[in-house]
Amino acid sequence: MALLDRLRRGLARTRDGLLGPLEAAVRGKGRLDREALDRLEEILIAADVGPDEAAGIAAAVQTRLGGGMADWAAVQAALEEALVDALSGAERVFALPAARPAVLLFVGVNGSGKTTTVAKVAHLLQEDGARVVLAAADTFRAAAIDQLVHLGEAIGAAVVAHRPGADPGAVVHDALEHGRTRGYDAVLVDTAGRLQTKRPLMEELGKVRRVVEKFLGRPPDERLLVVDATVGQNAISQAQLFHDAVGLTGLVVAKLDGTARGGAVVPIHRALGLPILWVGVGEGMDEIEPFRTKDFVRALVRG
């Protein structure tokens, strides 16, 4: 399936919730009047764009249209431009860093989509010809290790895993050694998401970062926060803790297919000032896309 098709299908719930009612209002009157503009703001808030951003985007749409008669196509075009502006700086094209092995650390709260995303990104890198190792550094539950081992088998990637309860730092050390001695291109590290455990999570993540620094002489090349789009803006408050622990370099927004709150990518990006590297639009291993602002906004606004 073509990239845009997958994105369109994935964003259908957000789009339908966002634009159906507005289209009806604009078509009915032939213009974006005050009432329709208020409607636009409400719709953006309902899509979880956030009140401040929603007001700014609605005002930008009004400015672009100049207050005169507007057909639906003109409203769509103005909304598209305003959303692209609101997401300026959100796009960063990912390329594997030159150093080998490159290390990608994935963090995020319980259930956000980390393990699935690790495997999806590994699969993407493999499709580009890279050889990757997955590190099962969520040692908190046996099921978490099994999940990564199974996904590794499914995509044909090596997995380094220890027993449940083992030290995550030791798993990462092993994976790095494996990666270096066997000439792998990248090590992708899956981590735990539980906030209430005997071992404080943030300390554990900080330690994993230090293990990489000690071994390679540099921190993990990417420290990526996986956020669950269905949680919407609540993801922002969690993000700061992870930022403090590992120094985030980017975001992956998972589960965009399962929500009408896909607009949350706007405030999430803006609050954290971090680029969005990929979006997840399904559970399958190929249901991930690099984040491209224009494609994303077009799929959202036009379908």
Interface positions with ligand GTP (CB under 6 A): 108, 110-116, 138, 144, 193, 254-255, 257-258, 280-283, 287
Give the span between the Cα atoms of 236 and 271, in whole angstroms. 7
Residue 75 vs 246, nearer CB to ligand GTP: 246
User: What, of Mg ion, ligand GTP, none, does residue 116 touch, CB below 5 to 8 Å by kind?
Assistant: ligand GTP
CB of 272 within 8 A of CB of 251? Answer: yes
Give the span between the Cα atoms of 185 and 131, in whole angstroms. 5
User: What, of Mg ion, ligand GTP, none, does residue 108 touch, CB below 5 to 8 Å by kind?
Assistant: ligand GTP
Question: For residues 244-273, which are near Mg ion according to CB under 5 A?
Answer: none
Residue 204 vs 257, nearer CB to ligand GTP: 257
Shortest CB 42 distance to ligand GTP, Å: 27
Q: Using CB atoms within 10 A of its CB, is residue 35 exposed (0-12), middle (13-18) or buried (19+)? A: exposed
Shortest CB 64 distance to Mg ion, Å: 43
Shortest CB 149 distance to Mg ion, Å: 12
Give the span between the Cα atoms of 293 and 279, in whole angstroms. 11
CB-based contacts of 144: which residues, under 8 Å, 6+ apart?
Answer: 115, 136, 138, 190, 192
Shortest CB 139 distance to ligand GTP, Å: 11
Residue 39 vs 114, nearer CB to Mg ion: 114
Residue 49 vs 107, nearer CB to ligand GTP: 107
Residue 113 vs 152, nearer CB to ligand GTP: 113
Question: For residues 107-166, which are near Mg ion according to CB under 5 A?
Answer: 114-115, 144
Residue 16 vs 283, nearer CB to ligand GTP: 283
Nearest one of 18, 38, 26, 40 to 68, comparing CA atoms: 26
User: What, of Mg ion, ligand GTP, none, does residue 289 touch, CB below 5 to 8 Å by kind?
Assistant: none
Give the span between the Cα atoms of 252 and 156, in whole angstroms. 22
Residue 180 structure tokens: 């270096």
Give the span between the Cα atoms of 134 and 29, in whole angstroms. 56
State how beta strands 276-280 and 288-290 pair.
antiparallel
User: What, of Mg ion, ligand GTP, none, does residue 246 touch, CB below 5 to 8 Å by kind?
Assistant: none
Residue 176 vs 281, nearer CB to ligand GTP: 281
User: What, of ligand GTP, Mg ion, none, does residue 283 touch, CB below 5 to 8 Å by kind?
Assistant: ligand GTP
CB-based contacts of 45: which residues, under 8 Å, 6+ apart?
Answer: 51, 54
Whose CB is nearest to Mg ion? 115
Whose CB is nearest to ligand GTP? 280
Give the span between the Cα atoms of 106 and 108, in whole angstroms. 7
Shortest CB 115 distance to Mg ion, Å: 3
Give the span between the Cα atoms of 150 and 144, in whole angstroms. 10
Name the residues that contact Mg ion, by CB under 5 A. 114-115, 144
